[in-house]
Structures are given as structure tokens and as C-alpha cells.
Amino acid sequence: MGFWDLFSNEKNNQESGNKSSLYYSLKENFSDKEESTLIKVTGIAGLFARVAYVDFELHQDEKAHMLKALTEMTDFDDSEVQLIVDLAIEHVKELAGLENHKLVYSLKEVLDQNARHQVVEALFYLAASDGVVENIESEEIRIIVKGFDLSDRHFIAARAKVSDKLKALQI
């Protein structure tokens, strides 16, 4: 994919609604799934990939955590979850976060406040899965919290669950 293709794809996606290119890839692979299921799995997998790759490194522990968490959070089987994670990682690497707002917006439309808070907690557990929550990961999650229209209390409560892994607090 060339540099200018990124913008032409973004323009095409804007014209077709507020869904990310990851959504369309998943819809192509899982045409038998309901729209709401595709929106949820797209948003969660996309945000997982974004937080895991925000430092431009994807640790095996993070990928393993993504696989485990999505298996627990969805009704997809192991091979389907593997495909979802692979597609999410591929899209986040290609688009370098250009579609984050679409992931957040779509999830905000289908999840209530409590479910969005649970996603934020899952993002912190993902960030901690490699042994340390880097500052850049924490700040990416803070941006997601704001996009979800959650309060600072939600962010602090979710971050507290992994406080022993926060790099900012380590000596």
C-alpha cells in the first residue's frame, strides 16, 4: 500500500459511513455474523491492536493476551479469533492509527457505559501482559477513554487494576 493510498482508502471509508477498514475485512471473512457482533469485535480487536502496537512493537505476550481475551469475550472459535487478531494487527500497522476514531465511535454506539469501562480495563490488562504498562500505552488508553465519553475516574479505576505494572511508578 502506497502513501497516497492511505488517504484514498480513508476517503472511501468516510464516504461509506463511520466504519473502519478492519470492519469491512471482518465482514468479508465473517459474512454470516450479525452486524452488532461484527461492530463489537472490530472495535475491541482494533483497540487491542492499537494499544499493543502504539510503541511500534508487538510483543508475543500481548498477542497471546489478545487471543485469550477475544476468545473469552466473543463466541468465535480459536481459528476465527486468530484471523481476527491477525487482521487487526495488519490494519493497525498499515494505517498507523488513522482509523482509531471509527473504532471508538462504533463501540460507543453499541456498548453502554459499563461495557465501555470493561473494555478500558481489558486494554490495561493487555498493556500489562508484557510485564510493564508503558507511558505511551497508558496515554493511548486515556485518549480512548475520552473518546468513549468516560470520566477520569473510569481511567484511574481501570489503571489501578494494573498499578504494579505501571512504568511511571517503577523505580
- What pLDDT sits at residue 28? 95
Domain membership of residue 104 as a residue range: 3-169
Q: What is the pLDDT along the chain (171 residues), one digit of tens a residue?
A: 454 454 444 444 444 467 888 999 999 999 999 999 999 999 999 999 999 999 888 889 999 999 999 999 999 999 999 999 999 999 888 766 667 788 899 999 999 999 999 999 999 999 999 989 999 999 999 999 999 999 999 999 999 999 888 865 544
Which residue do the cell numbers 487494576 mark? 161
Domain count across the chain: 1
- What pLDDT sits at residue 99? 73
- What pLDDT sits at residue 98? 65
Q: What DSSP state is assigned to residue 148? A: T
Distance CA 14, CA 83 (A): 25
- The grid cell for 19 is 466504519
Q: Which of 73, 52, 70, 47 is nearest to 128 (CA)?
A: 52
CATH number at residue 30: 1.10.3680.10
- What pLDDT sits at residue 166? 83
pTM (two decimals): 0.85
Q: What DSSP state is assigned to residue 169? A: G
